[in-house]
Structure 1
Amino acid sequence: MTRNRATAIGFIAVLLWSFLALLTVGSTPVPPLMLNAICFAIGGSIGLIWTHFSGGLAQLRKISWKVYAFGTLGVFGYHALYFSALRLAPAAEAGLIAYLWPLLIVLLSGLLPGESIRRGHILGGLLGFLGAGLIILGTGARFDTAHLPGYALAFACALTWSSYSVLSRRLGDVPTASVAVFCLASAALSFLLHLGLETTIWPQTTLGWVSVVALGLGPVGLAFYVWDIGVKKGDIQLLGTASYAAPLLSTLVLILAGIAAPSWSLMAACFLITGGAYVAARASK
């Protein structure tokens, strides 16, 4: 597989994540950890079926338990920290800090063998972060020291996903089928936490069930498999910068669905994120 093709496959994850907010709204009133458990169970099961018909489940037994522990900590840890951050801090501010992960991917990837960071990568990542900031903080929200614990968890969330993505590069020989086990283990952990912390509430409407299943098939399913291919074999700096398209596309999807309204800040964010991706692409060339 060529580097460009792997990068394009990895970007499919960004496109899928752009539907995360819309489908999450549609899944209301299912509590977050329960939703996590259901979606990861769907995503992991689909992965096992694909593995069975493509390379056989026997390949999963050859993978070290350390790899499974690493992947589960990355996938489950990110979501657990994210949900915890939103409990202790306003969603807008915590979300913006959590969205440092694409920029951190660009910066941390320079530590990988055979990779180098150019000024264009850093500039592109910063432009993308500014664009994401315009979208997420467009409501006029402000940071408050009273929410420092939540901000710290949000930063830990960003560091967890960026570290998982960059270190996955070192596991290039590990088959992507391993992600199915990451998802199923994350589903089990989410379910246990749900039992201890939440009240069980199933989807109340057909739309709710469709949203939950769609989440499990796409943003919390297929997205992790294609992302694994992208970060292992693609242009990880360009992929990190291009990830800032997720909050932009997510907002556009909400506007098309009539849930959000267009604004001048959104247009400015579009120019910043697109410009950042262009600058990073030029640096990669």
Structure 2
Amino acid sequence: MFTRADLLALTAILMWASLAALGVKLAHVPPFLLTGLGLLVGSVLAVPLSRLQWRAWVVPWQTLLLGVYGLFGFHLLLFIALRTAPALQANLINYLWPLGMVVLAPLILPGLRWRASQVGAAVLGFAGAAVVILGRSGGSLAGGWHSGYALALGSALVWSTYSLGTRRVAPFATSAVGAFAAVSGVLSLACHALWEPAADLSARDLGLIVLLGLGPLGGAFFLWDAALKAGDPRRIGLLAFLTPLLSTAVVLLTTGQALTASLALGALMIVGAAVWGQR
């Protein structure tokens, strides 16, 4: 039986699933520029949530640092990893973050403990994600270690520890995620100015960026925070393995490609992992 927290998390995951498809349409836009603008658009969603009471954005500096660590730190490490290491392997390593949530939850949050079923389900879920991601490339992996893999692993640790860390700081309103997004968006634009070439954006690009900010780079973060406040992070971590599965399915459907056997197998493994872990 799905709980309210599960439904909030699933809605966030559905939004994240659209990120790859939107990213394909905006592939010509430098990634830090795209992220910065998307986060700034997303931060505006906090206005109706806070009912125009800007005090809801004011949080202790430790909480603000945690939010910027999560939203900006995750994207910074992931983008550098994707630029310096083979993208397929880096993306796969990054998807260790749901496994990290399950494994690290008892270490970070008091009152939780490891359960063999949940850890086993998390490993099965990651294996399913690996099948989905590797299936898109025909299963080819370049050998050897690359320093960029450490950055990809770092991005996974950042998102899993941020997600769990929001339960360790003083309680804050979900609308405060708007402040996290606004500061992270400004920092992302600073990275764009330092490291990326200037880009001309068309009206179509701006429209898609608004969708990006309302969905995977905005609304999803608010829903994710609300889910973590209301539910068991181990359950939510297991559900998060649906992200690469749904993302791949959306890309295949929007590009007119046929669904593959690896996608079906990965789906069985991920859904099975979620059911096993939640039992």
Give TM class, smaller chain. Answer: over 0.9
Distance 1:43 1:246 in 2: 20
Distance 1:240 1:40 in 2: 23
1:264, CA displacement in angstroms?
A: 1.1
| Structure 1 residues 185 and 86, CA gap change in structure 2 (3 angstroms) | same
Q: Alpha-carbon deviations, 1:212-260, whole Å to 9, x = none?
A: 1111000000100110111222121111011010111111111211254
Is contact 2:242-2:270 (8 Å) kept?
A: yes
1:6 match: 5
2:175 match: 177
Is contact 2:66-2:165 (8 Å) kept?
A: no
1:5, CA displacement in angstroms?
A: 1.1
Tell me whether 1:26 sits opposite 2:22 in the alignment.
no
Of 193, 199, 202 in structure 2, the residue corresponding to residue 201 of structure 1 is: 199
**Residues 267-276 or 23-32, more deviating:** 23-32
Of 116, 119, 126 in structure 2, the residue corresponding to residue 129 of structure 1 is: 126
2:67 match: 71
User: Sequence identity of aligned pairs in percent?
Assistant: 37
* Superposition map of 1:226-245 within 5 A: 226-245=223-242
- What code does the residue aligned with 2:191 have? L
| Structure 1 residues 174 and 205, CA gap change in structure 2 (3 angstroms) | closer
How many residues align? The count is 275
* Superposition map of 1:31-46 within 5 A: 31-46=30-45
Is contact 1:169-1:233 (8 Å) kept?
A: no
Distance 2:176 2:212 in 1: 20
Q: Which runs of 5+ in 1 are unaligned?
A: none
1:15 match: 14
* Superposition map of 1:81-160 within 5 A: 81-111=77-107, 112-138=109-135, 139=137, 140-145=139-144, 147-160=145-158
Distance 1:219 1:266 in 2: 22
Is contact 2:57-2:178 (8 Å) kept?
A: no
Distance 2:171 2:6 in 1: 17
- Coordinate RMSD, CA, aligned: 1.6
Distance 1:98 1:157 in 2: 6
Q: Which runs of 5+ in 2 are unaligned?
A: none
- What code does the residue aligned with 1:230 have? A
1:47 match: 46
Is contact 1:40-1:186 (8 Å) kept?
A: yes
1:50, CA displacement in angstroms?
A: 2.8
The alignment's TM-score, normalised by the length of structure 2, stands at 0.94
| Structure 1 residues 156 and 215, CA gap change in structure 2 (3 angstroms) | same
